[in-house]
Amino acid sequence: MQDYKTTIITSIREETPGVKTFTIIYEDGSNIPYTAGQFITFVFTHHGKEERRSFSISSCAVLQEPLSFTVKRIDNGAYSRLLTDRAVVGDKLYTTGASGLFTLPQNIAIYKQVFFFAAGIGITPILSLIKTLLHTQPDKKVTLIYSNRSQEDVVFYNELQALTEKFPDNLKLEFLYSTSFDLSRARLSKALVPVLLQEYALVPKNEILFYICGPFPYMRMVIWSLEEQGIHDDQIRKENFNTNDRLVRKIESPDKATHTATIKYNGREYSFPITYPDTILQAAKKIGLVLPYSCEVGRCGSCAAICTKGKVWLSYNEVLMDKDLEHGSILTCVGHPVYGDVTIEI
């Protein structure tokens, strides 16, 4: 596949039934660069059409671990089934590389404690983040609240337990099982979130950073509960696994005229017209320009770029924070130029 890098599967490990971790390297034997909390996007070809799927990275870059990603088999997930059912060591996968914004912030020093809420396979990027914090931020207190149906369903159970034994003063972990007889500590609920926050918070609330990963209803509930406890949006990071769902747009661009976009990418400039309802990404595809992307619905951040001139309107956004938008960050997959031409750097 032209313009994509070839990777080789070097090992496959089953974590729980239906969940496997794959370790990969580049075809030339070198390691793939990545950052804790990111995902890797693969390019597949189906009936002559390119399709992309992203999977969260579970390895830890600061420990020099080769990139590993963890996949849960989904009955109607064509590529999760392809990987978990058929992939073997030595198979080749084509990638656009690692990306994503579910990472540690540059201002991590202002936070004294990091709270993680994970459900099911949502533990994948969080494991990478926890290991990074424990090995690079010895002054940080880390708390993980991890929800599953039962202990048998816990992904990375032994590794998480080993981390609590190695870092007893820094890592506190609580497993919640929906099958538990103790209903007060079974499913995570809007009532239980503030209880856990009170039990585990060791510093003032404004000094805590929160990460949430799991099904959309789970994340929405946790975010609402935290906001009711006075937690500010800037303290909350979330990662959505349902990035392949297509959304019904109920709002339209305030400007549907044709404008020109100038894209600066890989040391070259490309200029082309964009007319609503085409997004910047869709218009680029029409001229054969392959830009970074994955979900195409404003949920993953793979297509994040900087608008250096003009204005870009986003029809949807689940990943960019207010401060990102203030500094010109945009998403090409849901971005539309408005009120004039735009210049974008990727």
**Model pLDDT for residues 161-180, shown as the tens digit of each residue:** 999 999 999 999 999 999 99
The C-alpha atoms of residue 129 and residue 59 are separated, in whole angstroms, by 9
Q: Which structural domains are found in the chain, ordered by start? A: 5-99 (2.40.30.10), 108-240 (3.40.50.80), 259-345 (3.10.20.30)
Only one residue has tokens 């250096």, namely 308
292 CA to centre of own chain: 15
pLDDT digits (tens, 9 = 90+) for 68-123: 999 999 998 899 999 999 999 999 999 999 999 999 999 999 999 999 999 999 99
Sign for the pseudo-dihedral over CA of 132, 136, 138, 141? negative
Q: Which of 341, 312, 112, 340 lies closest to 331 in space, CA to CA?
A: 312
Residues 316-345 as b/e (b if ≥16 CB within 10 A, e otherwise) read ebbbbeeebeeeebbbbbbbbbbeebbbbe
pLDDT of residue 160: 98
Answer for the pair 251, 155: CB distance below 8 angstroms, yes or no.
no
Q: Which of 177, 22, 161, 163 lies closest to 84 in space, CA to CA?
A: 22
Residue 139 CB-density burial (10 A; 0-12 exposed, 13-18 middle, 19+ buried): exposed
Answer for the pair 345, 264: CB distance below 8 angstroms, yes or no.
yes
Q: How far is CA 72 from CA 11, 15, 36, 251, in A?
A: 16, 10, 19, 34
The partner residues of 305 in beta bridges, in order of sequence, read 330
Coil, helix or strand at residue 70: strand
Answer for the pair 39, 100: CB distance below 8 angstroms, yes or no.
yes
pLDDT of residue 241: 58
Q: For residue 224, give the H/E element and its range.
A: helix 216-228
pLDDT of residue 250: 58
Answer for the pair 62, 132: CB distance below 8 angstroms, yes or no.
yes
In the sheet that 208-214 helps form, which strands lie side by side, from edge to edge?
171-177, 141-148, 113-119, 208-214, 236-240
Task: Tell me which DSSP letter residue 105 carries.
Answer: -
Residue 291 CB-density burial (10 A; 0-12 exposed, 13-18 middle, 19+ buried): buried
Task: Tell me which DSSP letter residue 187 carries.
Answer: S
- Chunked into runs of 10 residues, the chain (346 residues) has average pLDDT values of 84 98 97 97 88 95 98 92 97 95 94 98 97 97 98 97 98 97 93 97 97 94 96 92 52 93 95 96 94 88 94 92 90 96 96
Only one residue has tokens 């809420």, namely 117
